[in-house]
Amino acid sequence: MNRSIFLFFCCSVVFFSCRKDAERPSWDTEVLAPIINASLNLNHLLPGSVLQSNADSSMKIVYEGDIYKISMDTLFSIQDTSIVKAFNIPFPYTFGPGDDVIVNNTSETTYNLGGPQLKSVIIKQGFVNFKVSSLIEEKTDFIYKIPCATLGGMPFQVNVTVPAAVGNTPGEYSHTYDLSGYTISLTGIANNKINTIYTSFSAGINDQGDSVLVNPSDMLTMTNTFSEMFPYYAKGYFGTSTLDIGPAFTDFTMFNRIVDGTIQLENVDFDLKLENPIGMDARVYINNLASINTRTGNSINLANSIIGSAININRASESGTTVYPTYANFPLTTSNSNIKPMMENLPNKFGYSLQIITNPLGNVSGSNDFIYSDKLLKATMNMEIPLSMIATNLTLEDTLDLNIKTNEGTQNIHSGTLTLYAKNGFPFDASIQLYMLDESNNISDSLYTSPNTISQALLNSNLRVTAKKPTKLVTPVSEGKMKLLYNTKKVKLKVKFNTASQSQYIKIYSDYSIDIQLIGDINYTIQLQ
């Protein structure tokens, strides 16, 4: 370093460090800071998962989603059930080690399922709690079985030893066992019943114990409680019943990023499909299907001959664990329905009400109805919408991080200028607004007093973008607003599109985007610390 410069620097530091705070030097300066860099494409308007490209790179929406799916417990549910058995001997008797006190005592329990008549289930989730209380003053061995419940061909069985009673304090044992995966026959001991489970247990004096006098008052009490029983598979006859469903709603998130405006679509292809993977005939009535936009409060009911008509859908078939569903398809077109205005409503929900009649012809399967918990009767929509539209104030929002760098030293911010550079690759005019967000992501202020217009891209005779159109927007910003901006970490960017300059439907292509760069020319004063 040049010696004279070095000496000047050292003297300056000593001089300024000895002065009072009020005499610290300061100067005004300005800095150009990139605040926002963003590129908005079609994925900011619609979820990328529903977008597909045609051969000519034009875009379309392809969507499939459930409107309604029946649940297994709509047809039947197995309630928690406890079985309590108490035993004693009729007269005093002395039992030796290894002697049987109770041998293979069986009991049946029949579930009240209403109309359904089940022959067997495979348990997806379920538990049995086995509890024993013994007043015999010697250790007692118990064998508890559920012969009708098998896993890998082996019946459920537990062998336990219950402690000896001490005076009037019984010996006790309790444990809960997981029945997941077990196949349970519900036809009873003689295989001639329905909805019936059976258990058995035996008890005897532990062979390592001593002889013991057992009196009639020395009760043995056994409790087994079945809880949270939910089948993965069930077979039997599910009964004839009428299920009224709704009015109910299902979320539709495809247009959630559109917060305002309207669109006109050139075409909509929409299939309403019923799928029945249950081994049960059904008759379905769709009483209502509505497109609902909760933002605007607008609701449009489907107008089509399917509404209120009986739809008969045959039972599925199975081979081993392979299920072959049956289907009923109903195309909804612009010529047979009002599906186009329903989708132009930009719904975020669909409302529906249904009626389902199970086994309308009775037990035609000979009690061989079947159901899997993950294969259920459902109504779905399959939709394809070419992105060829007319847009009026179609508004999208996105939240962006700011990129203002803080410097060392105290900064007294004055007014500044914001310059927005935009390159619009969409065939729409766009107006833009920026909102500053506080730490709770609530709007604290806006940067522009009114929206600013970004000109649409350059188009050829086929209304295809040939080049992005640059736009420069310069906005002065007050000292107060600049200070708020300087301390803001996030902004909400709102872009509003219009095709007012075009009377035709405009196609959207995969390469369309709008690039935005916001530059801050910030004036502030620096004081040397």
Per-residue model confidence as pLDDT tens digits over 8-46? 333 333 323 334 444 444 444 455 556 677 787 777 667
Give the residue numbers spanning the domain of 141: 77-237
> 60-75 in b/e burial notation, b at 16+ Cβ within 10 A?
bbebeeebbebebeeb
264 and 321 in a single domain? The answer is yes
509 occurs within a structural domain: yes
Task: Taking the CA atoms of 216, 222, 223 and 226 in sequence, report the sign of the dihedral they define.
Answer: negative
420 and 365 in a single domain? The answer is no
348 and 209 in a single domain? The answer is no
What pLDDT shows up at residue 151?
A: 95
- pLDDT < 50 regions, the chain: 1-29, 407-410, 526-529
What pLDDT shows up at residue 34?
A: 64
Phi then psi for residue 42, to 5 deg, are -65, -25
335 and 448 in a single domain? The answer is no
16 occurs within a structural domain: no
243 and 171 in a single domain? The answer is no
Look up residue 514 and give its two tokens: 């709008």
How many domains does the chain fold into? 3
17 occurs within a structural domain: no
87 and 66 in a single domain? The answer is no
355 occurs within a structural domain: yes
**Rounded distance between C-alpha atoms, residue 346 and residue 295, angstroms:** 10
What pLDDT shows up at residue 33?
A: 57
Phi then psi for residue 57, to 5 deg, are 75, 0
189 and 243 in a single domain? The answer is no
What pLDDT shows up at residue 338?
A: 95
What pLDDT shows up at residue 210?
A: 92
CATH number, domain containing residue 250: 2.60.120
367 and 283 in a single domain? The answer is yes
93 and 181 in a single domain? The answer is yes
Query: Of the candidates 185, 205, 237, which is a domain's last residue?
Result: 237
Cβ-based neighbours of 300, under 8 Å, separated by 6 or more? 290, 291, 338, 341, 342, 345
Query: Of the candidates 338, 360, 386, which is a domain's last residue?
Result: 386
88 and 206 in a single domain? The answer is yes
**Rounded distance between C-alpha atoms, residue 351 and residue 311, angstroms:** 19
324 and 397 in a single domain? The answer is no
Cβ-based neighbours of 510, under 8 Å, separated by 6 or more? 42, 53, 57, 58, 59
Nearest to 462 by CA among 385, 388, 515, 384: 388
202 and 244 in a single domain? The answer is no
What pLDDT shows up at residue 234?
A: 95
What pLDDT shows up at residue 315?
A: 96
CB atoms within 10 A of CB 273: 16
Q: Rg of the chain over CA atoms, in angstroms?
A: 38
